[in-house]
Amino acid sequence: MKTGWSSLLVVVGLLILLTYLLIQSRSPDPVRRARLHAALHEFKLHDAELNRDVLLTRTGLLPHYDSLHQSLATMFRALEVLEAWQTEAPGVIRAAMAEPVADLRAVVLNKETLLEYFKSDNALLQNSLMYFAHTSYALSTQPDARHGRLTTLAGALSNAMLRFVRTPQRQVREEIEVLLNGLPTGSPRQQDLQLLDVHGRLILEVLPKVDNLLRQLLLAPTTAEARQLQDAALQHLGSLEARAQFFRVMLYTVAILLLVYLVYLLIRLRANTHALEQTNADLHREMAERTQLEHKTRQQELQLIQANKMTALGTVVAGVAHEINNPNQLVLMNARVLDDAWTDAARVLDFYYEENGDFVMGGLPYGEMRQTIPDLIHDTHDGARRIDRIVNHLKDFARPRGQVGQETFDLNDAVGRAVGLLQHVIQKRTTRFRVELGEDLPRLQGDLQHVEQVVVNLVVNALEALPVPECGVAVTTRYCEAEHSLQLDVKDDGIGVPPEHLDRLCDPFFTTKQEQGGTGLGLAITYTLVRDHGGHLTFESIPGQGTCARVMLPCAS
């Protein structure tokens, strides 16, 4: 029981461990991972587009700023996705990625500010460049010969400005300043000259600022920060994956352990079942043996009770038989004398009757009494003889133990003598009487006459149980080696014994044949005789089919 609980605890423990390992062995969410990569890719792509468009804007190839706005807006959207990803990430990653994400937002915001400055300064620059180009072109292409110097000057300025716009070097700037300072005053094209001067100087001032902003924009570390963020995320995701891999290995190990343990339990269970079956079989065998013992003990107890009963009764019966026997002998003898006396007296009385007519005798007329008195004497004699028979039986029954003779004799002889004695009754009762005698039987020790009496009693009972002469009786003898005893069976096809009578058959005075003159002492005597020879008597019977009386007598030593 205790082992059962501990096994259960081990299995439950391993299952809990398995569940924990299963949870821990899950890989980082692949969808979230894909979202991170997509956002970073978007971000870097539009950052590059922004840089390209800024360059195009600076060269004046992009007429408006729409694409700049779009790129920047897309970068912000990607940034928001990254921020959401960071906030929703598991504890370790959330903490680790907070700084890189914040840094990225800072550089993007900075880039946005720079872009705003760049846009306004560049608008100014493009505007001045346009005016400057337009005015210098108008001045250099006028047909009026009086303004030859002005034309040359405008051409030189336009040429120098072109070089400055391409590479804004200090000498070129100084050269343009000298040319601007040398612009004539009071000229009929004064207005154009003034425009040339204003825009020329504006270009000199704004262009380096725009280029500076452009440089700052291109050098803004957005891409570097994005890459850093990507590296950090990949590193953490990698370590998470490695951890999950570790737990997966643990999971397999524990699962194998559990399997091995279950197999071990199964083997032990089978062994236990086998042992239990063995014990169960042993128990059954033991119980069967015990019942058989108990049965034997009960039989012995019953025999002992019967023996005690017989001994006690024997003592009483011996006294009673003795007391009855003497007066009964007197009655028997007197009845015979009385019979003779009546025969003589009747002759005298008959004569008197014939001479004097009827007279009263014992309260009745003599004529009547003459018929009754012989019957009365006869009945008295019969009754006394019955008492004599019973008393003789009682004396047999009450005979003290140990008086068995010491002669050795053949059981078959006793059977032969008994059957010979009963020949007359047998012929009257059945047409099917059978005797089967065993050959070369060992001899018995005791009293031949007593054993003969046993056979007579049993055969008489068997014959008396037959309802019709067609029913048979069989007497058999045989040697029983196991008990070194002789077995005598008297088997009949008679009316049988009801089960409730079986235990009482050998009780003195138990009879079902009261009407037929049964005394109920035959089997009680038989029992005592058999017991005196060290044997035992048993009955088996099926009501309506017949009875078998079995006597076992030990052989002479």
Ligand X SMILES: Nc1ncnc2c1ncn2[C@@H]1O[C@H](COP(=O)(O)OP(=O)(O)O)[C@@H](O)[C@H]1O
Q: In the complex, which residues of this chain contact Mg ion (CB under 5 A)?
A: 461, 522
Say whether residue 518 binds ligand X (CB under 6 A): yes
Q: Which does 513 bind (CB under 5 to 8 A by kind): Mg ion, ligand X, none?
A: ligand X
65-91: b (≥16 Cβ within 10 Å) or e = bebbeebbebbbebbebbbebbeebee
Please tell me the distance from the alpha carbon of residue 188 to that of residue 197, in angstroms, as a whole number.
15
Say whether residue 553 binds ligand X (CB under 6 A): no
Both structure tokens of 325: 């026997």
Please tell me the distance from the alpha carbon of residue 255 to that of residue 261, in angstroms, as a whole number.
10
Q: At 442, is the secondary structure helix, strand, or coil?
A: coil
Of residues 315 and 514, the one with the C-beta less far from Mg ion: 514
Q: Which does 554 bind (CB under 5 to 8 A by kind): Mg ion, ligand X, none?
A: none
Of residues 522 and 535, the one with the C-beta less far from Mg ion: 522
Say whether residue 462 binds ligand X (CB under 6 A): yes
Of residues 165 and 521, the one with the C-beta less far from Mg ion: 521
From the CB of 307, what's the least distance to Mg ion, in Å?
A: 20
Of residues 373 and 525, the one with the C-beta less far from ligand X: 525
Q: Which does 465 bind (CB under 5 to 8 A by kind): Mg ion, ligand X, none?
A: ligand X
Given a contact cutoff of 8 angstroms between Cβ atoms, the answer to whether 473 and 431 are in contact is: no
**Residue (of 409, 399, 359) closest to 525 by Cα position:** 399
From the CB of 462, what's the least distance to Mg ion, in Å?
A: 10
User: Which residue sits closest to Mg ion, CB atoms considered?
Assistant: 522
Of residues 220 and 462, the one with the C-beta less far from ligand X: 462
Of residues 127 and 311, the one with the C-beta less far from ligand X: 311
Q: Judged by CB under 6 A, which stretch of 145-153, 158-166, 183-191, 459-467 contacts ligand X?
A: 459-467
Residues 485-504 binding ligand X (CB under 6 A) are 492, 494-495, 497
Report in angstroms the alpha-carbon separations of 290 from 81, 282, 483: 88, 12, 22
Q: Judged by CB under 6 A, which stretch of 247-255, 312-320, 427-435, 510-518 contacts ligand X?
A: 510-518
Of residues 384 and 549, the one with the C-beta less far from ligand X: 549
Residue pointed to by tokens 């300025």 = 157
**Residue (of 548, 368, 388) closest to 473 by Cα position:** 548
From the CB of 373, what's the least distance to ligand X, in Å?
A: 32
From the CB of 507, what's the least distance to Mg ion, in Å?
A: 13
Considering only the C-alpha atoms of the chain, give the largest distance between any 2 of them, rounded to a whole number of Å: 234
From the CB of 465, what's the least distance to ligand X, in Å?
A: 3
Report in angstroms the alpha-carbon separations of 376 from 84, 277, 300, 332: 140, 81, 50, 13
Say whether residue 520 binds ligand X (CB under 6 A): yes
Q: At 539, is the secondary structure helix, strand, or coil?
A: strand
Please tell me the distance from the alpha carbon of residue 423 to that of residue 429, in angstroms, as a whole number.
10
From the CB of 510, what's the least distance to ligand X, in Å?
A: 5
User: Which residue sits closest to ligand X, CB atoms considered?
Assistant: 522
- One-character DSSP codes across 107-127: HHHHHHHHHHHHHHHHHHHHH
From the CB of 460, what's the least distance to Mg ion, in Å?
A: 6
Identify the residue among 28, 100, 522, 535 touching ligand X (CB under 6 A): 522
Taking CA 401 as the corner, what is the angle to CA 396 and CA 404, rounded to the nearest 5 degrees? 80
Residues 141-180 binding ligand X (CB under 6 A) are none
Phi–psi pair at 362, nearest 5 degrees: 60, 35
Identify the residue among 45, 437, 519, 532 touching ligand X (CB under 6 A): 519
From the CB of 509, what's the least distance to ligand X, in Å?
A: 8
Q: Which does 492 bind (CB under 5 to 8 A by kind): Mg ion, ligand X, none?
A: ligand X
**Residue (of 518, 489, 520, 516) closest to 505 by Cα position:** 520
Identify the residue among 511, 532, 536, 552 touching ligand X (CB under 6 A): 511
Q: Which does 494 bind (CB under 5 to 8 A by kind): Mg ion, ligand X, none?
A: ligand X
Distance, C-alpha 524 to centroid of its chain: 61
From the CB of 497, what's the least distance to ligand X, in Å?
A: 5
Please tell me the distance from the alpha carbon of residue 226 to that of residue 40, in angstroms, as a whole number.
7
- One-character DSSP codes across 206-252: HHHHHHHHHHHHHH-THHHHHHHHHHHHHHHHHHHHHHHHHHHHHHH
From the CB of 432, what's the least distance to ligand X, in Å?
A: 15
Taking CA 548 as the corner, what is the angle to CA 542 and CA 550, rounded to the nearest 5 degrees? 140
- One-character DSSP codes across 126-171: HHHHHHHHHHHHHHHT---GGGHHHHHHHHHHHHHHHHHHHS--HH
Identify the residue among 401, 434, 484, 513 touching ligand X (CB under 6 A): 513
From the CB of 287, what's the least distance to ligand X, in Å?
A: 36
Q: Which does 226 bind (CB under 5 to 8 A by kind): Mg ion, ligand X, none?
A: none
From the CB of 308, what's the least distance to Mg ion, in Å?
A: 23
Of residues 47 and 396, the one with the C-beta less far from ligand X: 396
HEC secondary structure over 273-342: HHHHHHHHHHHHHHHHHHHHHHHHHHHHHHHHHHHHHHHHHHHHHHHHHHHHHHHHHHHHHHHHHHHHHH
Say whether residue 475 binds ligand X (CB under 6 A): no
Say whether residue 472 binds ligand X (CB under 6 A): no
Please tell me the distance from the alpha carbon of residue 546 to that of residue 530, in angstroms, as a whole number.
22
Of residues 229 and 463, the one with the C-beta less far from ligand X: 463
Phi–psi pair at 27, nearest 5 degrees: -75, 155
Q: Judged by CB under 6 A, which stretch of 44-52, 311-319, 350-358, 509-517 contacts ligand X?
A: 509-517
Pairing of strands 444-446, 407-409: antiparallel
The residues binding ligand X (CB under 6 A) are 461-462, 465, 492, 494-495, 497, 505, 510-513, 518-524, 547
